[in-house]
Amino acid sequence: MHRPVGVSRDFLDADGNNVWGDIGLDALEAAGIAWEYLEENTAELTPGQIEGRPGVIFAAPAVTKNTFAGVTEPPLVLARFGVGYDSVDLPVCTANSVAVTITPDGARRPVSTAALTMILASLHNLGAKDRLLRRGEWDRRTEWMGRGLTGTTIGLIGLGNTSTDLVELLKPFGTTVIAYDPYCPPERAEALGVRLTGIADIAAASDVVVVMAVLTDETFHLINSDFLAQMKPAARLVNVSRGPIVDEAALIDALRSGTIAGAALDVFETEPLSTDSALIGMDNVILTPHSIAWTDEMSLGNGGSAVRAVIDAIESRAPQFVVNRDVLTKSEFQARLTRQQSDVRS
């Protein structure tokens, strides 16, 4: 007999309240599916946490080979609350016939809105002006004249689901949008009104560079000293994706030297950001703790998407947003998917 669907313990605060608010778990109950929070808050999912469960919804924990050590009845689906999966060992999950899902439908608008927020905040020097007022330096406000978004060139690193939504949000501002994404079909970019170009052109032509790519071996330190040296002196860098895509030491040098005008960062090479980081003392940098997109909209969007993935698997349907697509063709996965509904509801 199956155990209930598991929800990772990191969703709860010290008082047992869900830190994200409503994440749509009532849809499981409406579908007649039992669920429970895992008993321990662990850095990675453990064998005891996943054994015998039809699915696990998780946010912070990693998924490694240790997660499956000795497991005889793994979940059919591990549903991540979010779009990143760099801490999930996909080959190991596939080898164990476990589908891993993410929530691009839930994060799409919250993250694109967050990116637009960071663009505007950086161009308007919001951080510096906030600090001037708090320090009682009202008379220095003319030193931080901002720049309007209208008519600027926005360079996107990555033209996926969320970047596409940002393109739509930028349209009223009359911006020119260019993008570097070697995996984006040219016809798709053309339909969006976006010109695909090389990474060097993104650096040289953009007034704002926005990092929205997935962290991979190819994108690690894609934004490096060479890239930053080619940017306009008045340009800004925005990163709402993953910290290691940007060489942080090179960025600090570029900000100190005036190679670029500013940055707005929600993510960092090492998180949490050290309190002695040089970034913290810079007036031309806006910093947020990997949470700029965290809103009630994201909570319910991500949660609802993860819940749907679990319900689909239990009701013998392949979930929509599976990132290890190879698992869908495995005979063992298909056999487990077929019998899942009767097992869980028995």
Candidate list 190, 271, 332, 339, residue with the active-site label: 271
Candidate list 2, 236, 242, 336, residue with the active-site label: 242
Q: Does the active-site annotation cover 271?
A: yes
Tokens of 249: 């030491």
Kindly report the number of other CB atoms within 10 A of residue 208's CB atom: 27
What phi and psi, each to the nearest 5 degrees, are found at residue 168? -65, -40
Return d(Cα 319, Cα 309) in angstroms, integer.
5
Closest CA to 131 of 292, 286, 288, 283: 283
Cross-strand pairs, 93: none
Q: Does the active-site annotation cover 124?
A: no
State the angle between helix axes of 104-123 and 126-134 in degrees (0 to 180), rounded to the nearest 10.
Answer: 60
Q: Does the active-site annotation cover 141?
A: no
SS3 7: strand
Please, where are the H alpha helices in 135-235?
161-170, 186-192, 199-205, 225-230
Candidate list 9, 147, 195, 290, residue with the active-site label: 290
Catalytic center residues: 242, 271, 290
